[in-house]
A and B are shown apart, each in its own frame.
Chain A
Amino acid sequence: MSATQHDFEVLSCGQAAQDVWHMSIHSEVAAELEPGQFVNIHVPGDGAHILRVPLSFSHADSKNGVVELYFAVVGEGTQRLAAMAPGDRSTLVGPCGVGWKLPARQGRALLVAGGIGLPPIVAAARMLVSAGIGFDAVVGAQTSDKHVEDLLDCLRTLCKDEGCDCARKVVLTTDNGTRGIAGFTTQAMEGLLAENPYACVYTCGPHPMMAGVAHLAKGSGIACQASLEAMMGCGFGACSCCNVALKGGGYALCCSDGPVFDAEEVAW
């Protein structure tokens, strides 16, 4: 399904954690979105900032047309986005990009999310559970206040759906040790890798974190998919601004070749 422009209406918008906001929108695009894709949102109210804001989602419900967006408020565009109220309308471009793929090998998956990389990881978890694939997850944040409780609940519920011991499976970390393991997600990942055989790794988070995750996965001979982020002009492959350096030389476009890449292809 190629990207097109859709209208959307804000159903709810509120703070979900420190610097993180949750916005539910109603849009026809919900029926077309696949896990790991993204939408590119026009935030009304400021002609000076012209580019759309690309956002990943944790869930797109095709039945009721609702898309759950979570975003970090990091700049002018996301500040205006956070100020949108129920009933406000605008347009989005989507579905954008290539999302997560189901694993080629049978077996348990390991999901590693850092910061605002969590929403697409929750979308990956839903996809895996729908396909009958179990997972463990590592979720990292800088501090306890930055963990998004709603999304952690989603992951735990998905674990329950699978009928397993969920407490063991969603491992939290914080950089400052205020919640879960003190340290980076990669440290928690090393522990899990030592104890469990995984068939595949799915990761989204800060670039250095994903580089570390990709390195560990490769070291264990496990396939790894990573959802990358880049400054984007259009979001649908028209401007070539969001380049991702490839290991074999040259560049791919984050918006249309990704945002999900085989970690082996990326020049980390």
Chain B
Amino acid sequence: MVSTVNMAVNLGGIAMRNPINTASGTFGNGMQFEGFYDVGATLGAITCKGVAAEPWDGNPAPRLAELGGAAIMNSVGLQNPGVRGFVERYGTYLQGLSDRGCAVICQVAGHSLEEYEQAMDLFEELAPFAAGFEINISCPNIAAGGAAMGATPASAAEVMRAIRPRTKRPVVVKMAPHDVAEIGRALEAEGADALSLINTIPGMAIDVRTRRSRLARPTAGVSGPAIHAIAVRMVWECAQAVSIPLCGIGGVASWEDAAEMILAGATAVSVGTANLYDPTCAVRVVEGLEAWASQQGVSKIGELVGAFEA
């Protein structure tokens, strides 16, 4: 099908050839998917795995449980090689993606305000390939930092205040699945260029025979198609509250799921957990979204952002 719809979108200064992005932690750093499809020629953007200033080991095993009900639960805990190691291993590949028109979003992680600042400074210096940065203030799987940093409007704003002067490139903030309107407003006020939501929903899975957690830690993040409706509702709530663009994340496994996110107010949409069990999912989402936009009779996909009729 030759479409006449302009699929390009702009996520707070990050130019994307189409609205499809990948959720951090579900897409490696892109390379792992090259056997499945041409990443650089297909996606609007990729969001890399969260990286801190120094390497982190991540959490002990087991880190994963299949829950049934179209959901899984993970507690990876941001295992990463540190910014220097990340750039050394993936920099050349990611520069190639960027050169081919796929925006590269680097995710910034930290246990404390200082660690976020250090990671941001290193990225700013060492990652010319990054079209923008996603600040992860919502990881539920680390003991300090992560979700704690984004738990309240005040704490989220504090992180944004620290990050903002350190880069001129677009800053997206990855939000936890609660109070998205209030926290979104606080982040917008501190200069966030865009917001991405939602991160995984904290949950528990108990092995009733052993009375222990099915994962190494008592709580972990729930993801997968089961959380999609919750994520769409939160994107819609956040879209009412802010005027900066949103990237919708949560259980997207088909073009219909992505279209819902767009109608609810998302400018871009990330495929997440589906990448793991259906590695070519994002390709079909890109194609299906274009056909849908064409059927909707718009000239630009952007016209459908927030076009939900309540």
Q: Which of B10-18, B60-68, B104-112, B164-172 contacts A (4 or more CB under 8 A)?
A: B60-68
Please report the C-alpha to C-alpha distance between residue A50 and residue B225 in the assembled complex, in whole angstroms: 9
Main secondary structure of the interface of B (DSSP, over half): loop
Asked if A236 meets B68 with Cβ closer than 8 Å, knowing A4-B35, A230-B61, A251-B79, the reply is: no
> Which residue from A2, A3, A5, A50 sits with its C-beta under 8 Å from B66?
A50
**B62 and A51 form a contact (CB under 8 A):** no
Which residues of A come within 8 Å of B, CB atoms?
2-5, 42, 47-52, 76-77, 93, 230-234, 236-245, 249-251, 256
Which residues of B come within 8 Å of A, CB atoms?
25-28, 32-36, 49, 55, 57-66, 68-72, 74, 76, 79, 224-225, 273, 275-280
**A236 and B32 form a contact (CB under 8 A):** yes
**A4 and B62 form a contact (CB under 8 A):** no
> Which residue from A51, A243, A244 sits with its C-beta under 8 Å from B276?
A51
**A243 and B63 form a contact (CB under 8 A):** yes
Main secondary structure of the interface of A (DSSP, over half): loop
A19 to chain B, nearest CB (A): 18
**A230 and B62 form a contact (CB under 8 A):** yes
Please report the C-alpha to C-alpha distance between residue A241 and residue B25 in the assembled complex, in whole angstroms: 10
**B25 and A239 form a contact (CB under 8 A):** yes
12 A–B contact pairs at CB < 8 A? Answer: A5-B279, A42-B277, A48-B69, A51-B66, A51-B277, A77-B66, A233-B64, A233-B74, A233-B277, A236-B32, A251-B57, A251-B79
Further 9 A-B residue pairs, CB within 8 A, beyond A4-B35, A233-B64, A251-B79: A52-B277, A233-B276, A234-B32, A237-B32, A238-B27, A240-B58, A242-B64, A243-B76, A249-B57
> Which residue from B71, B72, B76, B280 sits with its C-beta under 8 Å from A240?
B76
Q: Across the interface, which residues of B come within 8 angstroms of A77, CB to CB?
A: 66
Of B55, B60, B71, B277, most buried by chain A (CB within 10 Å of CB) is B277
Which 6 pairs from chain A and chain B are nearest by CB? A2-B35, A241-B64, A238-B28, A234-B276, A4-B35, A238-B32
Asked if A2 meets B276 with Cβ closer than 8 Å, knowing A230-B62, A243-B63, the reply is: no
Please report the C-alpha to C-alpha distance between residue A48 and residue B49 in the assembled complex, in whole angstroms: 26
Of A4, A50, A244, most buried by chain B (CB within 10 Å of CB) is A50
Q: Taking CB as reference atom, which chain B residue is nearest A40?
A: B277
Please report the C-alpha to C-alpha distance between residue A2 and residue B31 in the assembled complex, in whole angstroms: 10
Q: Across the interface, which residues of A come within 8 angstroms of B68, CB to CB?
A: 48-49, 76
**A2 and B27 form a contact (CB under 8 A):** no
